[in-house]
Amino acid sequence: MDNEKRFFIAIALSFILFMIWWVMFLKNLPPTPNSSEATQSAAQQATGQQGSAKAEAPKLPVPPQIPVVEGQQAHDITVENDLYKITFSTQGGVVKSWILKKYEDASGKPLDVVNPAACKQLGYPMSLRTTDDSLNQKVNQALYAAQPVETTLQAPATLELTYSDGHVQVQKKFTFGSDYMMHVDVSVAQDQHYVPVRVAWVGGFGDHSLPQLEEFGQSKVAYGINDKLETTDLPKIKNELTQSGPLDFAGLEDRYFAGIFFPESSDQVFGAGYTQWKPANWKEKELPGAGYAEMGSSMAQPVKFNLFVAPKSMDVLDSTHPSLSGLVDFGWFSFIAKPLFLALRYIYEHWVHNYGWAIVILTIILNMALFPLKLKSIRSAQEMQRIAPLVKSIQDRYKQYKFNDPRKARMNQEVMKLYQDHGINPLGGCLPMLPQLPILYGFYESLETPFAFRHAPWIWWIKDLSMPDPSRIMGLPIPILPVIMMVSMFFMQKMTPMMTADPNQKRMMMIMPLVFGIMFFHLASGLVLYFLAANLVGIVQQLIINRFITPKQPPLVPPKDVEAKA
């Protein structure tokens, strides 16, 4: 068959199949009502519902009831491991005490980074903050039910605190491990809807045994964004400092300790600032401030983060987060200060096990390494001292002229020619000392900043190298170590040749030990010890120089004709 016949046969078969399908299926379906009948039926049904509503009240949808969960009475729960002991209160579900076991405060008591005096007025750590003040008061004063019910827990452990009055439900979950980290999971719901909430550390942070203003002056806010650390002095914050995510971390720090939040989601918000409070028997007009930091979300959802409360030890910080090591700020010359500190720590760990003697040993090593520069400086000073009479004779010839007189320029030309004739660089005594200035500043930072020097003893009355010398002379507030340093500096200046012959300048130089000594009365004992050791080494070096290396030459006497002209 050709294609046309096949086409007509296919059409005929399709028609036959359609008729069979219609007879077997569509013919037996029930009739569909038309639109008018459907409308009439719907109206009759609505009329019937209205009639039954008169006989029975409507049933509105209601949410299932939230069970009431409250504590019976306020009590404390302690959680501890080898590093800390944290005390929670079931009233408010807050932290009343956070003791770092391995450290003591200035009075020798276990170090508590929570300030109970300030917290009584301002609130305690792990307080909750929402946009509703009445809700804040309720959830921070409520009695929470604890699970487990034990009052003493040993980490690793989990503590759950729950409160509900049937409308407001708060859940706080704290998880503890063997390190300095605590995991926090907090949610606040009102009628089964989450409420935006922040978890706050209030009442200040750090070593509160320090004087109030000193403690406040050392408090800072620190936060990390994209592996970059930013810090702000707490007293410089006029209003609340707010940072939105994504944040690496954020929190509070003082000189030696840090309390840092690590958010678990990128949309969390960090806020920090300070509030003033009045300590007992406070008579000053300006009240001290207590810092606060809070982590939360502007969205209606639970808040989860890790809380790290620990000393600012470089080993602890490096093992927690790479950017946290920046909390130990060695200043502008950190590339010098940090190696100096690491050298001190190496000497302490491998040689003497005493940071005071480690400072002395490293000072000797540094001064021996810088001895060639010092020798060059002293030789230049001796040459300047040798021609000082000639310089003075030139200056005497021009002393009757005013400073702006053109003839004064001629005096300077003669002095410079004199230096040139004798092969002397007038800056030769200063230039060799310039490389020592960064080292000096680096040593200052390496002794002032690191946590290792906190409460580190040396000998006898020096019990803390990070604090000023506490000793007194005849009952007067005159510390012994700075006085010894002052005397050693005076002897070193007497032995060191001066580049000037001006008696006024010489007297001014002799006053410098007194000025330095008074300045050092309030500096850390470790820094005073460094200067004392450097002076003693300098005296020994000067004795060697004067006796064996550069014997003194007699000063040059001006020619008689020059004296006559003068």
CA-closest candidate to residue 264, choices 383, 181, 367, 322: 181
Q: How many CA atoms lie within 13 A of 343 on its CB side?
A: 18
CA dihedral 391, 395, 397, 401 (to 10 degrees): 160
More confident position, 6 or 541: 541
| DSSP assignment string, 267-321 | T-EEEEEEEE---TT---SSPPEEEEEEEE-SSSS-EEEEEEEEE--HHHHHHH-
Beta strands in 217-302 (DSSP E): 220-225, 228-233, 241-244, 249-253, 257-263, 269-276, 289-296
User: Which residues 6+ apart lie within 8 Å of 220 measured at CB?
Assistant: 231, 232, 233, 234, 252, 253, 254
Residue 129 one-letter amino acid: R
Q: How far apart are CA 547 and CA 130, in angstroms?
A: 77
The helix/strand/coil state of 63 is coil
pLDDT at 408 over 90: no
The identity of residue 19, as a single letter, is M
**pLDDT: is 502 or 150 the higher one?**
150
Give residue 512's pLDDT.
80
Q: Which residues pair with 258 in a beta bridge?
A: 253, 310
pLDDT of residue 558: 74
Taking residues 25-47, report their average pLDDT: 47
Using 50, 70 and 90 to split pLDDT, how confident is the model at 284? low
What pLDDT, on a 0 to 100 scale, did the predictor assign at position 122?
94
Selection from 179, 165, 170, 74 nearest residue 127 by Cα: 170
- pLDDT category at 38 given cuts 50, 70, 90 is very low
Highest mean pLDDT among 36-50, 209-223, 268-282: 268-282
User: From the CB of residue 319, how many other CB atoms can be counted at a distance below 10 Å?
Assistant: 13
Tell me the C-alpha distance between 365 and 371, whole Å.
Answer: 10
Stretch (H or E) spanning 518: helix 503-519
CB 290 within 8 A of CB 123: no
Per-residue confidence at 36, pLDDT binned at 50, 70, 90?
Answer: very low
The strand pair at 193-194 and 181-190 is best described as antiparallel
CA distances from 482 to 147, 521, 542 (A): 57, 6, 22
- On whether the CB atoms of residues 392 and 376 are closer than 8 A, the answer is no
Tokens of 110: 């276990």
Higher pLDDT, 3 or 393: 393
The CA distance from 483 to 476, in Å, is: 13
pLDDT at 211 (0 to 100): 73
Q: Distance (Å, rounded) from C-alpha 297 to C-alpha 304?
A: 10
- Domains of the chain and CATH, by start: 76-327 (2.70.98.90), 340-549 (no CATH)
Q: Which of the two residues, 345 and 511, has the higher pLDDT score?
A: 345
Q: How far apart are CA 292 and CA 240, in angstroms?
A: 10
Alpha carbon 362 to its chain centroid, in Å, reads 28
Contact 205, 221 (CB under 8 A): no
| Secondary structure percentages of the chain, helix, strand, coil, to 5 | 45, 20, 35
The whole-number pLDDT of residue 248 equals 94
Specify the pLDDT at position 56.
46
Q: What is the DSSP string of 166-182?
A: SSEEEEEEEEE-SSSEE
Dihedral angle of Cα 412, 417, 419, 420, to the nearest 10 degrees: 140
- How far apart CA 274 and CA 233 sit, in angstroms, is 11
Closest CA to 483 of 442, 531, 448, 540: 531
Mean pLDDT estimate for the chain? 83
User: What is the pTM (predicted TM-score) of this model?
Assistant: 0.78
Q: Which residue has the tokens 């030789």?
A: 379
| Bridge partners, residue 224, by sequence | 229, 249
